[in-house]
Structure 1
Amino acid sequence: MSFNGVVPAESCLSKIPPLQNPVFIADLHLAADKPATKEAFFKFLKNDAARFSELVILGDLFEFWAGDDHAPAYADILEALKAFFLNGHRIYVMHGNRDFLLGKGFTAATGAQLIADPIPVQVGFDHILLSHGDMWCTLDPEYQQFRATLRSPDVQRQILGEKLEHRIALAGGLRNQSAYDIQEKSKEVMDVVVNDVAVPCDNIEPKSLFTDIPTVLHTIRTSMKTRVSTAGYCLTGISKTVVPAAAT
């Protein structure tokens, strides 16, 4: 896979057909040095996910993705996704803060489609807003500026113009910075701001949100009576559960 000039920020669908029977997952952070998590994901695709029409991945499927020419490092994962797609399932993938460079090469290799963040979708009679969720961590302006920079088409074009080894080094630096921030910043600063989450939800009726940030689940339900669900799958090192669309 090579960069074809269309950057990831310009490759996302802003609207998709109604979902029939979806399952939502997020934040798996798959990597070669996490074999147990990978094997659990493969098992999930063959067993649990096979019961659903659509697989919706709400960001950070990979620990990091340095561009579509980085794909050989994840060949077994791409093959598993392509097999799942060829078995008649639709796959939708949202960018996270670790794999924001997923592009057209990734979608060609897997059959997946990239979706915008956030994106409203219809599931049965419900209208649901899907998001990775980090855009609402607004008490951390430094992170929000950083996030906006990395999602700029011009910046992505510049990054993808660098050699792969330089991009891998950049990704390593971003991982180290993330680890430092977790240690140095308070949970309150790194968490979502509930009132900011409420703004896009005001346009969704019935009010529903799927995100990968667990704190939103309790806070929104109790203070705003908006139906919110966290997404994810119970894999090694990940304390989340499968959330079909009907969950509340």
Structure 2
Amino acid sequence: MNQEILFISDLHISLEKPEITRRFLSFLSDRAPKAAAVYILGDLFDAWIGDDDFTPPNNTIRKQLKQLTDSGTQVYLQQGNRDFLLGKRFAKDTGVILLDEYAVIDLHGTPTLLTHGDLLCTDDRPYQAFRAKSHTLEWQQSVLSKPLFLRLLAARWYRVRSYFHKRRKSQDIMDVNQDTVINVMRKRRCLRLIHGHTHRPAIHDFEIDGQPAQRFVLSAWSKHAAEVLCWNSNGYHIEAI
């Protein structure tokens, strides 16, 4: 029985990035069915303005995900900072299982903490303030009550605004805070963490209370390359897609 687990994040799928869409659809049809489970740790989409948005390529992604989950491969999804409005309707349409912002899984005998990664970037205080506001029920209901075309325009404006804001921020501010990482892992009694968000793929070794710990940072997908963190009973490897 296949027990391979795959981890990906930060695809940022949109109409303007057809190469990434094609690569992901190929992954869903060719690579993912060979695994027992796939974990998508946030920012599958570059922007998500509601589960009622069926503009391209969203519907194609829905159908391919549904085909994968119907075939027996479990797909788990965490919301990212770009697609945190993904909801129950999307999960029902696709068969994916939505995860909390922090989720602990048993990864071949080792408790492993999963998160998108934006919550770990506590040095970026303006973003954390916006995140807290945008995750309230009142804020989300207000946004989702707007007509679809207004939400589409707002998402486009937000992407442009985000681009220029990032150019003004230092790279260190947008990276994770190591003290936050340790505190979060200690609270959840995990010595292994997997996340995305920062677009800085790496494996970090450190200690928590004298015990060895590891932090795996997933890579972002681009039109030129994509990587998957693959895990089985023998360990892990990074696979190019």
User: TM-score of the superposition, structure 1-length normalised?
Assistant: 0.84
Q: Which residue of 2 aligns with 1:242?
A: 228
Q: CA deviation at 1:21?
A: 3.1
Unaligned runs of at least 5 residues, structure 2: none
Pairwise CA RMSD: 2.0
Within 1, Cα distance between the matches of 2:130 and 2:107? 33
Aligned residue pairs: how many?
A: 227
Helix, strand or coil at the partner of 2:215: strand
Which residue of structure 2 lines up, in the alignment, with residue 67 of structure 1? 50
Q: Deviations over 1:150-194 (max 9, x none)?
A: 111111111111111121122122211210122111101111111
Deviates more, 1:202-211 or 1:169-178: 202-211
Which deviations, in whole Å up to 9, do the C-alpha atoms of 1:184-236 show, x marking residues without a partner?
11101111111101112114555000001365845x41465312222357652
Gaps in structure 1 of 5+ consecutive residues: 1-19
Q: Is contact 2:41–2:114 with CA below 8 Å preserved after alignment?
A: yes
Q: Determine if contact 2:51/2:90 at 8 Å carries over to the other structure.
A: yes
Looking at structure 2, the residues matched to 107 and 206 of structure 1 have their Cα atoms a distance apart, in angstroms, of 27
Which ranges of 4 or more aligned residues in structure 1 deviate by more than 2 Å? 203-206, 213-218, 222-225, 230-238, 245-248
Distance 2:104 2:19 in 1: 33
| Distance of 1:51 and 1:244 partners within structure 2 | 11
Of 209-218 and 61-70, deviating more is 209-218
Does structure 2 retain, via aligned residues, the 8 Å contact 1:194–1:216? no
User: Which amino acid is the alignment partner of residue 19 of structure 2?
Assistant: A
Distance in 1 (CA, whole Å) between partners of 2:194 and 2:128 is 20
How far apart are the structure 2 equivalents of 1:71 and 1:114?
Answer: 19
Equivalent AA in structure 2 for residue 70 of structure 1:
D
Distance 1:234 1:143, change over 3 A: closer
More helix by share: 1
Matched position secondary structure for 1:169: helix
Aligned pairs for 1:5-24 within 5 A? 20-24=3-7
**Cα drift, residue 47 of structure 1:** 2.0
1:192 aligns with 2:176: yes
Q: Which segment is superposed worse, 42-51 or 61-70?
A: 42-51
Residues in 2 aligned to 1:88 and 1:66: alpha-carbon distance in whole angstroms: 29
| Residue in structure 1 matched with residue 99 of structure 2 by the alignment | 115
